Structure 1
Amino acid sequence: MKRHAAREKAFQILFQLDMIEEDTDLVIQERLEEEEKDEFLHILVHGVVEHKQSIDEEISANLENWTFNRLPSVEKTILRIAVFEIKHLTDIPTNVSINEAVELSNRYGDEKSGKFVNGVLSKIIK
Protein backbone atom coordinates (compact mmCIF):
# COMPACT_ATOMS: atom_id res chain seq x y z
CA MET A 1 0.00 0.00 0.00
CA LYS A 2 1.37 3.41 -0.92
CA ARG A 3 1.69 6.01 1.80
CA HIS A 4 -1.08 8.16 0.34
CA ALA A 5 -3.50 5.23 0.51
CA ALA A 6 -2.26 4.37 4.01
CA ARG A 7 -2.95 7.94 5.16
CA GLU A 8 -6.45 7.76 3.74
CA LYS A 9 -7.14 4.44 5.50
CA ALA A 10 -5.62 5.83 8.71
CA PHE A 11 -7.95 8.83 8.41
CA GLN A 12 -10.96 6.53 8.06
CA ILE A 13 -9.91 4.39 11.02
CA LEU A 14 -9.11 7.33 13.30
CA PHE A 15 -12.32 9.09 12.30
CA GLN A 16 -14.26 5.97 13.29
CA LEU A 17 -12.32 5.65 16.56
CA ASP A 18 -13.11 9.28 17.36
CA MET A 19 -16.84 8.64 16.90
CA ILE A 20 -17.08 5.31 18.74
CA GLU A 21 -14.63 3.94 21.28
CA GLU A 22 -13.52 0.61 19.87
CA ASP A 23 -10.43 -1.55 19.92
CA THR A 24 -7.87 0.03 17.60
CA ASP A 25 -6.59 -3.23 16.13
CA LEU A 26 -10.12 -4.52 15.56
CA VAL A 27 -11.05 -1.38 13.61
CA ILE A 28 -7.84 -1.64 11.56
CA GLN A 29 -8.63 -5.26 10.76
CA GLU A 30 -12.21 -4.42 9.75
CA ARG A 31 -11.12 -1.52 7.53
CA LEU A 32 -8.36 -3.42 5.77
CA GLU A 33 -10.61 -6.36 5.01
CA GLU A 34 -8.49 -8.67 2.89
CA GLU A 35 -5.78 -6.16 2.09
CA GLU A 36 -2.26 -6.79 3.27
CA LYS A 37 -0.99 -5.37 6.51
CA ASP A 38 0.69 -2.04 6.10
CA GLU A 39 3.35 -0.97 8.58
CA PHE A 40 2.99 2.75 7.84
CA LEU A 41 -0.77 2.57 8.41
CA HIS A 42 -0.23 0.89 11.79
CA ILE A 43 2.42 3.47 12.74
CA LEU A 44 0.03 6.31 11.93
CA VAL A 45 -3.01 4.90 13.71
CA HIS A 46 -1.23 3.66 16.83
CA GLY A 47 0.97 6.77 16.96
CA VAL A 48 -2.00 9.14 16.86
CA VAL A 49 -3.85 7.08 19.47
CA GLU A 50 -0.78 6.91 21.73
CA HIS A 51 0.10 10.62 21.45
CA LYS A 52 -3.46 11.95 21.15
CA GLN A 53 -3.33 14.19 24.21
CA SER A 54 -0.10 15.98 23.25
CA ILE A 55 -1.21 16.21 19.61
CA ASP A 56 -4.54 17.74 20.62
CA GLU A 57 -2.74 20.23 22.87
CA GLU A 58 -0.45 21.22 19.99
CA ILE A 59 -3.41 21.74 17.67
CA SER A 60 -5.37 23.65 20.31
CA ALA A 61 -2.45 25.99 20.99
CA ASN A 62 -2.32 26.94 17.31
CA LEU A 63 -5.99 27.63 16.64
CA GLU A 64 -7.18 31.18 16.05
CA ASN A 65 -10.79 32.06 16.80
CA TRP A 66 -11.60 28.37 17.33
CA THR A 67 -11.65 26.01 20.25
CA PHE A 68 -10.50 22.46 19.81
CA ASN A 69 -13.89 21.06 20.81
CA ARG A 70 -15.60 23.06 18.04
CA LEU A 71 -13.43 21.57 15.30
CA PRO A 72 -15.30 19.33 12.87
CA SER A 73 -14.25 15.69 13.17
CA VAL A 74 -12.84 15.58 9.63
CA GLU A 75 -10.42 18.45 10.21
CA LYS A 76 -9.57 17.28 13.72
CA THR A 77 -8.66 13.80 12.49
CA ILE A 78 -6.61 15.08 9.56
CA LEU A 79 -4.75 17.54 11.79
CA ARG A 80 -3.97 14.77 14.27
CA ILE A 81 -2.39 12.62 11.56
CA ALA A 82 -0.35 15.52 10.16
CA VAL A 83 0.85 16.70 13.57
CA PHE A 84 1.87 13.16 14.48
CA GLU A 85 3.86 12.90 11.24
CA ILE A 86 5.49 16.30 11.72
CA LYS A 87 6.41 15.78 15.37
CA HIS A 88 7.22 12.06 15.45
CA LEU A 89 8.16 10.79 11.99
CA THR A 90 11.41 12.49 11.09
CA ASP A 91 11.84 10.60 7.80
CA ILE A 92 8.87 12.42 6.22
CA PRO A 93 9.47 15.96 4.95
CA THR A 94 7.15 18.46 6.65
CA ASN A 95 5.86 19.79 3.33
CA VAL A 96 4.80 16.26 2.33
CA SER A 97 2.82 15.84 5.56
CA ILE A 98 1.13 19.20 5.02
CA ASN A 99 0.35 18.55 1.35
CA GLU A 100 -1.14 15.15 2.17
CA ALA A 101 -3.26 16.68 4.94
CA VAL A 102 -4.54 19.40 2.60
CA GLU A 103 -5.41 16.78 -0.05
CA LEU A 104 -7.36 14.73 2.50
CA SER A 105 -9.12 17.91 3.67
CA ASN A 106 -10.10 18.82 0.14
CA ARG A 107 -11.46 15.32 -0.43
CA TYR A 108 -13.32 14.75 2.83
CA GLY A 109 -14.01 18.24 4.17
CA ASP A 110 -15.87 21.21 2.81
CA GLU A 111 -14.53 23.86 0.44
CA LYS A 112 -12.68 25.70 3.23
CA SER A 113 -11.12 22.67 4.93
CA GLY A 114 -7.90 22.59 2.94
CA LYS A 115 -7.10 26.24 3.65
CA PHE A 116 -7.98 25.84 7.32
CA VAL A 117 -5.77 22.74 7.77
CA ASN A 118 -2.93 24.40 5.87
CA GLY A 119 -3.16 27.47 8.09
CA VAL A 120 -3.11 25.53 11.35
CA LEU A 121 -0.22 23.32 10.23
CA SER A 122 1.73 26.36 9.01
CA LYS A 123 1.48 27.85 12.50
CA ILE A 124 2.58 24.57 14.09
CA ILE A 125 5.77 24.29 12.05
CA LYS A 126 6.93 27.88 12.75
Structure 2
Amino acid sequence: MKRRELREHIFELLFRVEFNSPEEMQEQVRLFFENLGEIEDKDRDYIKQKYAHIIEKLPEIDALLGEAAEGWKVSRMGKADLTILRLAVYEMKYDEDVPVGVAVNEAVELSKKFGGDESPVFINGILGKIGKAE
Protein backbone atom coordinates (compact mmCIF):
# COMPACT_ATOMS: atom_id res chain seq x y z
CA MET A 1 0.00 0.00 0.00
CA LYS A 2 1.29 3.47 -0.81
CA ARG A 3 1.88 6.07 1.91
CA ARG A 4 -1.01 8.24 0.73
CA GLU A 5 -3.41 5.32 0.97
CA LEU A 6 -2.06 4.37 4.42
CA ARG A 7 -2.47 7.99 5.56
CA GLU A 8 -6.06 8.02 4.32
CA HIS A 9 -6.84 4.87 6.30
CA ILE A 10 -5.26 6.38 9.41
CA PHE A 11 -7.43 9.47 8.90
CA GLU A 12 -10.56 7.31 8.59
CA LEU A 13 -9.74 5.43 11.77
CA LEU A 14 -8.77 8.56 13.68
CA PHE A 15 -11.99 10.27 12.55
CA ARG A 16 -13.97 7.71 14.58
CA VAL A 17 -12.44 9.09 17.79
CA GLU A 18 -14.74 12.11 17.47
CA PHE A 19 -17.84 9.93 17.65
CA ASN A 20 -16.89 7.12 20.01
CA SER A 21 -15.72 6.88 23.60
CA PRO A 22 -12.24 5.53 24.33
CA GLU A 23 -13.88 2.31 25.51
CA GLU A 24 -15.74 1.94 22.22
CA MET A 25 -12.67 2.58 20.08
CA GLN A 26 -11.24 -0.90 20.57
CA GLU A 27 -14.34 -2.31 18.88
CA GLN A 28 -14.22 0.45 16.25
CA VAL A 29 -10.63 -0.48 15.38
CA ARG A 30 -11.64 -4.13 15.03
CA LEU A 31 -14.60 -3.21 12.79
CA PHE A 32 -12.45 -0.87 10.73
CA PHE A 33 -9.97 -3.60 9.85
CA GLU A 34 -12.74 -6.15 9.33
CA ASN A 35 -14.36 -3.83 6.77
CA LEU A 36 -11.03 -2.97 5.19
CA GLY A 37 -10.64 -6.51 3.95
CA GLU A 38 -7.39 -8.20 3.07
CA ILE A 39 -4.31 -6.07 3.59
CA GLU A 40 -0.72 -6.99 4.22
CA ASP A 41 0.30 -7.45 7.86
CA LYS A 42 2.93 -4.71 7.55
CA ASP A 43 0.29 -2.22 6.38
CA ARG A 44 -2.14 -3.24 9.15
CA ASP A 45 0.65 -2.89 11.73
CA TYR A 46 1.68 0.52 10.33
CA ILE A 47 -1.89 1.85 10.52
CA LYS A 48 -2.45 0.51 14.05
CA GLN A 49 0.89 1.77 15.33
CA LYS A 50 0.57 5.27 13.88
CA TYR A 51 -3.03 5.54 15.10
CA ALA A 52 -1.94 4.52 18.62
CA HIS A 53 0.92 7.04 18.61
CA ILE A 54 -1.40 9.86 17.52
CA ILE A 55 -3.91 8.98 20.25
CA GLU A 56 -1.07 9.00 22.79
CA LYS A 57 0.01 12.49 21.71
CA LEU A 58 -3.51 13.92 21.30
CA PRO A 59 -3.38 16.32 24.29
CA GLU A 60 -0.09 17.82 23.06
CA ILE A 61 -1.31 17.98 19.46
CA ASP A 62 -4.57 19.68 20.48
CA ALA A 63 -2.64 22.20 22.60
CA LEU A 64 -0.50 23.11 19.56
CA LEU A 65 -3.62 23.44 17.42
CA GLY A 66 -5.29 25.64 20.03
CA GLU A 67 -2.30 27.99 20.06
CA ALA A 68 -2.03 28.19 16.26
CA ALA A 69 -5.75 28.57 15.55
CA GLU A 70 -6.33 32.11 16.74
CA GLY A 71 -10.02 32.68 17.29
CA TRP A 72 -10.83 28.98 16.90
CA LYS A 73 -11.29 26.52 19.73
CA VAL A 74 -10.30 22.97 18.89
CA SER A 75 -13.72 21.84 20.07
CA ARG A 76 -15.40 24.10 17.48
CA MET A 77 -13.40 22.95 14.45
CA GLY A 78 -15.05 20.74 11.88
CA LYS A 79 -14.48 17.08 12.71
CA ALA A 80 -12.84 16.24 9.39
CA ASP A 81 -10.57 19.31 9.53
CA LEU A 82 -9.60 18.56 13.12
CA THR A 83 -8.76 14.97 12.29
CA ILE A 84 -6.65 16.01 9.29
CA LEU A 85 -4.84 18.60 11.42
CA ARG A 86 -4.15 16.09 14.18
CA LEU A 87 -2.65 13.64 11.71
CA ALA A 88 -0.54 16.34 10.05
CA VAL A 89 0.72 17.82 13.33
CA TYR A 90 1.71 14.35 14.51
CA GLU A 91 3.67 13.83 11.30
CA MET A 92 5.28 17.27 11.51
CA LYS A 93 6.30 17.02 15.17
CA TYR A 94 6.77 13.36 15.97
CA ASP A 95 7.26 11.32 12.78
CA GLU A 96 10.84 11.66 11.59
CA ASP A 97 10.06 9.69 8.42
CA VAL A 98 7.74 12.42 7.09
CA PRO A 99 9.22 15.78 6.04
CA VAL A 100 7.23 18.79 7.22
CA GLY A 101 6.45 19.90 3.66
CA VAL A 102 5.08 16.46 2.80
CA ALA A 103 2.91 16.43 5.95
CA VAL A 104 1.43 19.82 5.03
CA ASN A 105 0.87 18.90 1.37
CA GLU A 106 -0.75 15.57 2.25
CA ALA A 107 -3.01 17.29 4.79
CA VAL A 108 -4.17 19.78 2.16
CA GLU A 109 -4.86 16.90 -0.25
CA LEU A 110 -6.87 15.05 2.42
CA SER A 111 -8.84 18.24 3.09
CA LYS A 112 -9.77 18.50 -0.60
CA LYS A 113 -11.22 15.00 -0.42
CA PHE A 114 -12.82 14.99 3.05
CA GLY A 115 -13.19 18.62 4.12
CA GLY A 116 -15.35 21.53 3.11
CA ASP A 117 -14.71 24.19 0.49
CA GLU A 118 -12.63 26.32 2.88
CA SER A 119 -10.76 23.39 4.44
CA PRO A 120 -7.60 23.46 2.30
CA VAL A 121 -6.95 27.15 3.07
CA PHE A 122 -7.79 26.72 6.76
CA ILE A 123 -5.57 23.66 7.17
CA ASN A 124 -2.70 25.17 5.22
CA GLY A 125 -2.85 28.31 7.37
CA ILE A 126 -2.87 26.45 10.69
CA LEU A 127 -0.07 24.10 9.66
CA GLY A 128 1.93 27.03 8.29
CA LYS A 129 1.83 28.68 11.74
CA ILE A 130 2.83 25.46 13.47
CA GLY A 131 5.64 24.86 10.96
CA LYS A 132 7.04 28.38 11.54
CA ALA A 133 6.95 27.88 15.31
CA GLU A 134 9.54 25.11 15.10
| TM surpasses 0.5 | yes
CA contact (8 A) 1:14 1:45 kept: yes
Distance 1:122 1:2 in 2: 25
User: Whose radius of gyration is greater, 1 or 2?
Assistant: 2
Higher helix share: 2
Instruction: Give matches, 1:38-57, under 5 Å.
Output: 38=43, 39-57=45-63
Identical columns (%):
37
Q: Report the equivalent of 2:64.
A: 58
Q: CA RMSD in A?
A: 1.5
CA contact (8 A) 1:52 1:80 kept: yes
Deviations 1:81-112 (A, max 9, x none): 00000111112110000000000001111111
TM-score (norm 2): 0.86
**Which residue among 15, 33, 39 is the counterpart of 2:37?**
33
Matched residues, number: 126
**Which residue among 119, 123, 126 is the counterpart of 2:125?**
119
Return 5+ residue gaps in structure 1 as ranges: none
Return 5+ residue gaps in structure 2 as ranges: none
TM-score (norm 1): 0.92
SS at match of 1:51: helix
**After the TM superposition, which segments of 4 or more aligned residues of structure 1 sit over 3 Å from their partners?**
none
CA contact (8 A) 1:79 1:121 kept: yes
Instruction: Give matches, 1:1-126, under 5 Å.
Output: 1-21=1-21, 22-23=25-26, 25-37=29-41, 38=43, 39-126=45-132
Distance 2:36 2:5 in 1: 11
CA contact (8 A) 1:44 1:84 kept: no
